[in-house]
Amino acid sequence: MTHIAKAFSLAAALALGSGVAAHAQQITVGLSLPETIEGFDFVNGMYRTFKDEVEANSDMTVDLVYGGALGRPNDRLTQMQRGVIQMTDAADGNYASVYSDIQVLNMPYLFPTEQTAWAVLDGPFGDDLASGILDATNVRVLGWWESGGFKHFSASKAIETPDDMEGLKMRVLGPLSVIPVEGMGASASPVSFGELYTALSTGVVDGQDNSISVFNLIKLYEVQSHLNLTGHTYAFGPLGISEVFYSGLTPEQQGVIDAAADVAIAFNRETSRATEASGIALAQENGATVVELDQMQRAAFRYVMQPLARAWLVENIDTPELVDAAIAAVDAAQ
């Protein structure tokens, strides 16, 4: 090989190496929420914590892109799968579009407490589900974050028993919400989130289900007299990273990413619990009647809602045996 050819080969190798290194050092994170939004630090703050940990312990940088600037959640999930961006805050519903088995975690009354949910997600069942996500989507799950805790029904009246749902028009989305709601005698309506406040204020629907954080975010206490703490479904999201990106990192860099994720998840869960506690008081201060349910009352809802959801899951997810496995994992975690 001539000196010129050797020089050209060396220059090409250096250019390629430089490109890979630059890519490996930059982590672009596409987020849904604006940078400053009250009551949702358990999401944005989680990613800021991740950024701080990564940048403090490596030469990698993390670019947080807020406000949906990189597209809708499903679009950002696709970008992450392909390695166009490295991370995004896509939640369980977004992942369900490409990995149906994740819906097993949406079974009503699967988890009795947030702490039980954490134990299951951090244990063998969560690890197996994460492996399934990696195989199906090319997204590595670094941990499981809490999206405000449990969802609750709000309405223009108290809902203390399944019979209290009779005749109500409820804004709920997806079969695992629609089927159980209709099983209690209510009718389901797929109102978009952007139209929810108006739909409630005009009587298009009588109620809805969301976490307390969302209830307060769009001031539903102005159009809903009762926030009923039914706690029927746990809201969560996988903290995912593109495997295209992650697999190209050095073991040391991967270790930094993994450690940063652990710190970020811990921040998320602590902040989510505190936010929910303060959110109940905020809803009350703004005029909502908060209806507490005891274990017997929640058991009555579970008796109606869970079998209907289980039947749908067995017929509609790729791995039906996960339904019984999830219940067994919850039993073992208590």
Q: Which residue has the tokens 């697999």?
A: 247
Instruction: Specify the number of domains making up the chain.
Output: 1
Q: Which domain holds residue 268?
A: 106-333
Residue 38, pLDDT score: 84
CB 303 within 8 A of CB 161: no
With residue 271 as reference, give the H or E element that holds it.
helix 251-285
Residue 204 placed within a domain? yes
pLDDT digits (tens, 9 = 90+) for 41-53: 999 999 999 999 9
Euclidean distance between CA atoms 135 and 304, whole angstroms: 34
Residue 116 placed within a domain? yes
Residue 41 placed within a domain? no
Q: What CATH number does the domain containing 115 carry? A: 3.40.190.170
Residue 59 placed within a domain? no
Residue 285, pLDDT score: 97
Euclidean distance between CA atoms 78 and 263, whole angstroms: 26
Give strand pairing partners of 65. Answer: 30
Residue 67 placed within a domain? no
| pTM for this prediction | 0.89
Residue 60 placed within a domain? no
User: Sheet harboring 26-30: ordered strands across?
Assistant: 61-65, 26-30, 87-88
Residue 39, pLDDT score: 86
Residue 189 placed within a domain? yes
Mean pLDDT per segment of 10 residues, for the chain of length 334 residues? Answer: 40 38 74 91 97 98 97 96 97 94 97 97 98 97 96 97 98 95 96 95 97 95 97 96 97 98 98 95 97 97 97 97 98 95
Residue 85, pLDDT score: 98
Residue 40 placed within a domain? no
Residue 288, pLDDT score: 97
